[in-house]
Structure 1
């Protein structure tokens, strides 16, 4: 793959990754509610799912996507249900100032990682994205070396997008200095997560 082709792939993937959607909404919501670590944890699971599809692309993505249709649907609905449940809990939670969370119980980061992974493995847009784009980048087949090269493009692009959303949400979170402001932020974040879960289920 020549540098021009890789740059074109990076640009296309950046547009895909940065576009508004359930993943970016959830990263912002989790960062607002539980801090940057929670947002990054979800992002790590998201990237793992994206890379898993890249590996599947090397083994015949069209066939795999067809065979995994039921499993992808189950993963998508399970992840969406978790987002909705978490959003409802956040909406109804008592407001706690960020400074008061310092020594308190932290939410399970593993659950955030697994949710990001499940939602991306169940994302019907991922196979379509790769099927539409990869043949123009690497041709009909995808060798292991090409998987590694594309992964080295995907990871920094996702780091940029995830980091940008976490940074923005983190700055907004530091502005929460009253319980009333925290309650409003919780309800915005909770409503966002509920909306993200509904959007995931509605995706085709």
Structure 2
């Protein structure tokens, strides 16, 4: 892979990541509902999903989809259901302002990462991107191990940087919250966004 190709791929992934969609919506809602730590693990899961999609693209995603279409469909439904479950949890969460909450050791980060992974695997946008546009940057029929690692590194770094930026912005807004009524409204809103994201993923073909 040439430096020019690498830059072009980075720019394309940047546009893909920065465009609002299920990933941005779920990250924003997760940050507002559970804090920056949970959101960053969610972002990490989304980036891991990109690695999976890149590997599938290299193996021939269209062929795999034809033979294992039920598996792709099951992943989509599982991801949608999990996001809806998270949204219901956010909707019912405590309305104590973040500044008044005690500091607790982080737990359950693997669940946030799993939610991010399922969000990517159930979202048609990155699936179509890697299946249709990745071959314009790399010859998938003759890709080397080095090129595969470079593609994964470029895609994951751009996805993580962009989506972590969204999480940081949402976290800044969250820290300004001091009123229980506002926190309650925020929880309801973030829960509704997560549920809505799950419904959108489930409804897309």
- Calculate the TM-score normalised by the size of structure 2: 0.91
Deviation (angstroms), 1:159: 2.1
Question: SS of the residue aligned with 2:178?
Answer: coil
- Match runs of 1:45-60 below 5 Å: 45-60=45-60
CA distance in 1, matches of 2:69, 2:37: 32
For 1:119-165, what per-residue CA distance to the aligned partner results, in whole angstroms no more than 9, with x for missing partners?
32233333321122122111252222211111121122112112211
1:122 partnered with 2:122: yes
Q: CA RMSD in A?
A: 1.8
- Calculate the TM-score normalised by the size of structure 1: 0.92
Distance of aligned partners of 1:110 and 1:194 in 2 relative to their CA distance in 1, 3 Å threshold: same
1:153 partnered with 2:139: no
User: Any conservation in 2 of the 1:29–1:190 contact (CA below 8 Å)?
Assistant: yes
Q: Determine the structure 1 residue equivalent to 2:31.
A: 31
Deviation (angstroms), 1:32: 0.7
Task: Tell me how many residue pairs correspond in the alignment.
Answer: 204
CA distance in 1, matches of 2:68, 2:193: 29
Unpaired runs of at least 5, structure 1: none
CA distance in 2, matches of 1:28, 1:20: 11
Q: Determine the structure 1 residue equivalent to 2:5.
A: 5
Distance of aligned partners of 1:88 and 1:105 in 2 relative to their CA distance in 1, 3 Å threshold: farther
Q: Determine the structure 2 residue equivalent to 1:166.
A: 167
Deviates more, 1:90-99 or 1:1-10: 90-99
Deviates more, 1:119-128 or 1:47-56: 119-128
Q: Determine the structure 2 residue equivalent to 1:15.
A: 15
CA distance in 1, matches of 2:83, 2:122: 14
User: Any conservation in 2 of the 1:58–1:144 contact (CA below 8 Å)?
Assistant: no
Deviates more, 1:17-26 or 1:78-87: 78-87
Question: SS of the residue aligned with 1:103?
Answer: coil
- Match runs of 1:86-101 below 5 Å: 86-101=86-101
For 1:83-111, what per-residue CA distance to the aligned partner results, in whole angstroms no more than 9, with x for missing partners?
11221232233302113333358662211
User: Any conservation in 2 of the 1:41–1:113 contact (CA below 8 Å)?
Assistant: yes
CA distance in 1, matches of 2:130, 2:181: 45
1:203 partnered with 2:179: no
